[in-house]
């Protein structure tokens, strides 16, 4: 089944945190297993980061890799909530991320993209969580905290990195939450004038 992944965050890590959504007031998990993680990576344009062999992992290894990925997402979501509320990165988060990065394994590989040579990072299937750790480290060190925001729709749980020039973005997506807010304001104005 094709998953309805959401890409509104303007960054790989923010979109990763947004792999849980709210549907009719209920949180819905979009990453149910390692296959969903691989499908999400394909949609996120990072499928080439995984070396072949996901299918060769034992059930226990698959559960371990998947568990590490979801554990990182939970910690990132906590950190994002703190930053978006103006509280900064929680104590201990950087130390924990550094500890996990020290245990992670990936390697660079030179690849040909048309006439251009590029360096791309690759991860063995058992170390796929390292991709998420390294991307999290990159995002946390490069972000401007005031640009990381939670959608203003109270029934939405998504985050986004506001890249607008005036930093006035309020909604995860104007097509969904933004339009709902506009329609609600219009309805209430019309009702009040009647």
- Structure tokens given for 43: 């949609």
| Residue 67 confidence (pLDDT) above 70 | yes
Contacts of 120 (CB under 8 A, 6+ apart): 48, 49, 108, 109, 110, 111
Of 22-26, 83-87, 150-154, the poorest mean pLDDT is in: 22-26
Determine contact, residues 18/28, Cβ cutoff 8 Å.
no
The number of folded domains in the chain is 1
**Domain limits at 84?**
12-193
Residue 73 pLDDT: 98
Mean pLDDT of 84-105: 94
Q: How far apart are CA 84 and CA 72, in angstroms?
A: 18
* 15 Ramachandran zone, left/alpha/beta (phi>0; psi -120 to 50): alpha
Q: What is the mean pLDDT of the chain?
A: 89
DSSP output for 103-117: H---EEEEEEETTEE
Distance in angstroms (rounded) separating the CA atoms of residues 80 and 149: 8
User: What pTM was computed for the model?
Assistant: 0.87
Q: What is the pLDDT of residue 174?
A: 82
CATH number at residue 166: 1.10.3300.10
pLDDT at 180: 60
d(CA 13, CA 11): 6
In a domain, residue 7? The reply is no
Q: Is residue 2 part of a domain?
A: no
């Amino acid at each position: 089944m094709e998953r309805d992944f959401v890409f509104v965050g303007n960054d790989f890590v923010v979109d990763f945190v947004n792999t849980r959504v709210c549907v009719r007031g209920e949180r819905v998990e979009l990453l149910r297993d390692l296959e969903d993680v691989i499908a999400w990576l394909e949609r996120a344009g990072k499928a080439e980061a995984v070396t072949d062999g996901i299918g060769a992992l034992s059930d226990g290894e698959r559960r371990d890799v998947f568990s590490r990925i979801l554990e990182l997402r939970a910690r990132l979501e906590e950190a994002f909530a703190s930053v978006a509320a103006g509280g900064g990165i929680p104590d201990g988060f950087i130390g924990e991320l550094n500890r996990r990065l020290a245990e992670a394994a990936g390697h660079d590989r030179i690849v040909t993209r048309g006439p251009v040579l590029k360096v791309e990072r690759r991860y063995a299937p058992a170390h796929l969580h390292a991709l998420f750790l390294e991307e999290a480290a990159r995002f946390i060190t490069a972000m401007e905290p005031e640009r990381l925001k939670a959608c203003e729709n109270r029934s939405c749980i998504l985050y986004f990195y506001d890249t607008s020039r005036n930093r006035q973005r309020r909604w995860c997506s104007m097509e969904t939450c933004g339009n709902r807010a506009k329609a609600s304001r219009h309805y209430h104005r019309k009702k009040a004038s009647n």
